[in-house]
Chains A and B, each alone.
Chain A
C-alpha cells in the first residue's frame, strides 16, 4: 500500500533537523530551494520524493558538519519522515 506525507510538514521537519547546525534561515532557504528544483510542489510527497530531497541535501551537509554528523542528520530526517507518513 502506497504511503505519503504532507509536503509542508515534511519540509518543516527537515528544516527543524538542520537548523541547529546551519541556522533556521539557511535551513529553510536550502530545503525550499532543493524542493523547488526537484519539483516537489504537490501537497503530499511519497517516499521516493523524500529520498530525492534528502539525497540532494546530504552532500552539502557533509561539507558543513562532516560525514558522521551528516549521516546522523540524514537518519533523523528519515525518522521524521516516517513519523509523518500515512497510508493512502
Chain B
C-alpha cells in the first residue's frame, strides 16, 4: 500500500472534517441567535449553519459504513441525502443573504447586471458540468448510481454559481470585516467544488493521490466556512 493510499484510508480525514463541520454549525447557530427572532438575517444564518450540520451527519453516516459496518454504503444512502440537503441549505442561505444585502439600502449591485453575470458564468459551468456528467454516465454502474453521482457535480456547480454571484456583492466590502467573513466562506465553497471534482477524478482513475487532494480540499472548505462564520460571530457578539 502506497503512502498516499494509506493516508486516504486513515480515519484522520473524517475526524478533522467532522470537527470543522461541527465548529461551523455551532458558530452559525450562535450567530443566528444574536439576531432578533423571526428576522430574515437570522433565518439566513440558520440556513448557513444547517449546511455544515447536514455535512456532519453525512460524514457520520459515511464513517459508520467505513469504520463500523466495513462495507460501502448503498446508493442512494443517508450520506447522499445529507450532502444534498446541506448544499441546498448553503445555496438558499447565499440567495437570502444576497437579497437581504440588496434591500439593506447600502450600495450593493443587482438587477439586470446580476442576470448578465449569471448568464456569463452559466455557460462555462454548464460545459464543465456536461464533461463531468458524461464521464459519470460512461461508467458501467446502474442508472440509480449514475443519477446520484450526477447530482454531486450539479449541486457543486450550482453552489459555485451562487457563491460567485454573492462574491460580486462581497467584493464591495473589501477592507472591512464583512469581506473577511464572505471571503472565507466563498473560498470555502470554491474548495468544495474542487474537492468533489477531485473525488470524481480519483474514483475514475483510482489514484490515491487524487483522493488525498480531494480530502484536503474538503478540509479547506469546511475550515474556511467555519472561519468565516466565526469571524461573523465575533463581530456580532463583541
B174 within 8 Å of A by Cβ?
A: yes
Q: How far is the CA of A29 from the CA of B96 in the complex (A)?
A: 22
The B interface, classified by DSSP as helix, strand, loop or mixed, is helix
Contact in complex: B105, A56 (CB < 8 Å): yes
- Min C-beta distance of B134 to chain A, whole Å: 42
Interface of A is mostly: helix
Q: Are B100 and A63 in contact (CB under 8 A)?
A: yes
Per-position 1/0 for A18-30, Cβ under 8 A of B: 0111111111011
Q: How many residues from B make CB contacts under 8 Å with A? A: 22
Contacts of B172 on A, CB cut-off 8 Å? 23, 25-26, 29
Cβ A60 vs Cβ B104 within 8 A: yes
Asked if A64 and B178 make an inter-chain contact with CB atoms under 8 angstroms apart, the answer reads: yes
Contact with A along B28-54 (1 / 0, CB 8 A): 000000111000010000000000000
Instruction: Please tell me which one of the listed residues A20, A29, A59 contacts residue B107 in the complex, with CB atoms under 8 A apart.
Output: A29
Tell me if A65 is interfacial: C-beta within 8 Å of chain B: yes
Interface residues of B (CB under 8 A from A): 34-36, 41, 100-101, 104-107, 172-179, 235-238
6 residue pairs A–B, Cβ–Cβ below 8 Å: A21-B178, A21-B235, A66-B237, A67-B35, A67-B236, A69-B238
